[in-house]
Structure 1
């Protein structure tokens, strides 16, 4: 399950881990003009952990999801 919201400066996608046997914390994806952040609460520390991807890194990740094992460079 997921939600999508359009804020002033970002599109916010929240991924909810509903049917999982070992349920994880929800993930929030914030899509800005120049980067994407992925956030998840660490239940052990209570801190929100954040990873920031550039637009290029996001494009690489998207391409990598559909490729077999190997080393690649996008044109």
Structure 2
């Protein structure tokens, strides 16, 4: 099974799609259908997994996103 390399371009594209879904959910508010909410939650999980895999693939370089535990020290 061939592994796909996640690029920064993939992450940017996923983020823009996630933003569109997020706006749609916010606009509908309380009237938002359950399926749309589930789709948004799934897209959010996939987006964050993509970022984690990107960091793993490029761990020799400086990661773009640091785990939360490292950010606490800088706060």
Q: State if a TM-score over 0.5 links the two structures.
A: no
Highest Rg: 1 or 2? Answer: 2
Query: Between Structure 1 and Structure 2, which shows a larger proportion of helix residues?
Result: 2
TM-score (norm 2): 0.23
Structure having the higher strand fraction is 1
